[in-house]
Structure 1
Amino acid sequence: MISFEIERLRREGPFSMPVNHFHDHYEIYYLLSGKRYYFIQDRSYQIQEGDLVFIGRNKLHKTHHADAQPHERILINFDHSWIGSIGDSAAEYLLAPFLLKQHIFSMTGSNRTFVENILFSMLREQQHTLSGWELASKALLTQLLIFCSRLSDKAIEPTERPHAMSPKIFEIVGYINEHYKTRLTLASISETFFISPSYFCRSFKETTGFSFIEYLNNVRIREAQRLLRETKLKVIDVAEQSGFDSVAHFGRVFKQVTQQTPLECRKLMRSVK
């Protein structure tokens, strides 16, 4: 299980995340240079250098290229057990940036300098692995979260730069999120929203970074994980309540998305409670 990680990465050409992506830990994404499209839950945003993105637990998200230019980012991941060890009231305050409807803080001027100094200090601690580097890194992360929570307290709204694509696609995303337990097909979506299948497929992929089936499967598997974690339902019932027509299909998709079988996932999640 992940406790705390930080990584810096530069890519020289266009790049889109090749895999579907949601997880049970918190993520902070900072774009040092370049531009990206970032799909989060049910919206797609164009982000630029200096943007700090907060991704909560089990939020479906994916980045994809905005142009052919290089980009460089810093990625932080930490789990709930670490933040919870500080204390409930402190954790609630520190996690405030993850609870905002708007996921992006645009850092400029002295704010950007402050944030980058913290991030570079965390990277140095990890790189040199000096005595106490983990504790020092977590102290720096706490400082970063306090800083962003104070921005939230001051009601400073992050600058929103939504992806300039058809509002109908976002409407369809919301529809999928609400009706994923029912039988949804390309034909039924096209008929419901009066949109041609070819245009829908192309626009959905451009806007979210997912194909229609990829997105639908991820939403269903995320619900299945919740049921496996929080209930004692049999796997066949979990499959049905998550929107799958057969337990065999459910098992194949679950393994593809999570790299685990449903029973392996249930055992792991219960072992780390």
Structure 2
Amino acid sequence: MKPILRKVDSNAEHSFSVRENIYPFLYNYWHYHPEIELTYIRKSSGTRLAGDSIERFTDGDLILLGSNLPHMWRNDDIYFDQNSDQHIESIAIHFKQDFWGKEFLAIPEHQHIQKLLNAATRGFQIHGKTHDTIVNKMEEILHLHKAQRVIHLLDMLDIIAQSNELNYLASQGFVDQYKIDPNDKINEIYQYTLSNFKNGITIQDVAKHVHISPNYFCRYFKKRTSKTYIEFVTELRVGYACKLLLENNLNINQICYESGFNNVSNFNRKFKEITKQSPSQYYRAYSEKNQNPHLHPNVVADLQQD
């Protein structure tokens, strides 16, 4: 199954789309579209995939995605529980790079914006003061009409283009190599893995699910994603472990097994490889940043050993 070409909502009254979403869960398919996307996650949590980037997202996530960059927001399992009271809230702006005319971004005053949108083929996460400013403007644009909408969008892009508070998402290698494949099975692989990574999932399991041999599966996945399947699953597990760690309900041993690892030493090693911190150091950094002195007792014991 190839990445889905998603048609972005639009109508004759507007040259670009501004949409507030309040749903049980986010659109959770690996997809792409020619429109550039600026998305603010007001309320939601889960795993965000953008190209070969895999990261946890929570309330406040602010992302700029370039044209045709495959991506997906996959909510945590609780959002799909029929008895759950969870819901998502987001604001999404979609626009084509030339919607204001072929030459608009070519003038000297706008070339920094054109450079930003070209670089956004890798995707950006926006943080810091820039994040706060853009979030406020995205809330405001919901209530604007006619030329004020266009002016507001241009103002937001001008601010982002001059900011140094941006982190790339996808690697340049992914962008250079990725081509849309009509026989792509990545969406099917992602959906199966996201539903099963906390269990003892194997390459044989997922290869069987998508009806290809394990050997071909390994080559195929590396070619399509620029990483091995084991690396992909490990990143998912570490991201989920970060979530459990910050929820402060489980100790390190429990988090290890709950997130799909089969022993604590391997969990600690992989966690540090990906986050550059031990689980306890990660927890401490978050707690200090958020001025949360109430550490889980088992984490306190770990901190004393660091």
After superposing on structure 2, the runs of 4+ consecutive aligned residues of structure 1 that deviate more than 6 Å are 116-119, 134-138, 148-151
Residue of structure 2 equivalent to 1:43: 30
CA positional deviation for 1:142:
4.7
Q: Which of these residues, 77, 94, 97, is aligned with residue 92 of structure 2? A: 97
AA matched with 1:96 = I
Q: Which of these residues, 84, 97, 106, is aligned with residue 96 of structure 2? A: 106
Q: How far apart are the structure 1 equivalents of 2:130 and 2:204?
A: 54
AA matched with 2:186 = I
1:78-157 correspondence runs (5 A): 80=60, 96-97=91-92, 105-110=95-100, 113=104, 120=112, 139=133, 142-143=136-137, 146-147=140-141
Q: How far apart are the structure 1 equivalents of 2:207 and 2:38?
A: 32
RMSD: 4.6
TM-score (norm 2): 0.47
Q: Which runs of 5+ in 1 are unaligned?
A: 1-39, 65-78, 83-91, 99-103, 124-133, 154-161
The alignment partner of 1:59 has SS state of strand
AA matched with 2:246 = R
The alignment partner of 1:164 has SS state of coil
TM-score (norm 1): 0.52
Aligned length: 184
Q: How far apart are the structure 2 equivalents of 1:195 and 1:150?
A: 51
Q: Deviations over 1:97-155 (max 9, x none)?
A: 28xxxxx64332318848x978948x9xxxxxxxxxx979965775477558979x9xx
Q: Which runs of 5+ in 2 are unaligned?
A: 1-26, 54-58, 63-87, 116-127, 150-178, 291-306
Q: Which of these residues, 182, 187, 202, is aligned with residue 185 of structure 1? A: 202
Q: How far apart are the structure 2 equivalents of 1:111 and 1:272?
A: 44
Q: Deviations over 1:242-268 (max 9, x none)?
A: 000111111111111111100111112
Residue of structure 2 equivalent to 1:231: 248
Q: How far apart are the structure 2 equivalents of 1:107 and 1:143?
A: 20
Q: Which of these residues, 157, 161, 166, is aligned with residue 183 of structure 2? A: 166
AA matched with 2:30 = R
CA positional deviation for 1:226:
0.5
Q: Which of these residues, 273, 277, 281, is aligned with residue 260 of structure 1? A: 277
Q: Deviations over 1:156-212 (max 9, x none)?
A: xxxxxx933534331121010000111122223223333112321232233333321
Residues 187-196 or 230-239, more deviating = 187-196
Q: How far apart are the structure 2 equivalents of 1:253 and 1:239?
A: 11
Residue of structure 2 equivalent to 1:62: 51
Q: Which has the larger radius of gyration?
A: 2
The alignment partner of 1:60 has SS state of strand
Contact 1:97 1:148 in 2 (8 A): no
The alignment partner of 2:219 has SS state of helix
Q: Would the alpha carbon gap of residues 256 and 55 (structure 1) be closer, same or farther in structure 2, given more than 3 Å must change? A: farther
Contact 1:176 1:216 in 2 (8 A): yes
Q: How far apart are the structure 1 equivalents of 2:230 and 2:193?
A: 11
CA positional deviation for 1:230:
0.5
CA positional deviation for 1:269:
1.7
Q: How far apart are the structure 2 equivalents of 1:149 and 1:111?
A: 24
Residue of structure 2 equivalent to 1:250: 267
The alignment partner of 2:232 has SS state of helix
Q: How far apart are the structure 2 equivalents of 1:262 and 1:136?
A: 29
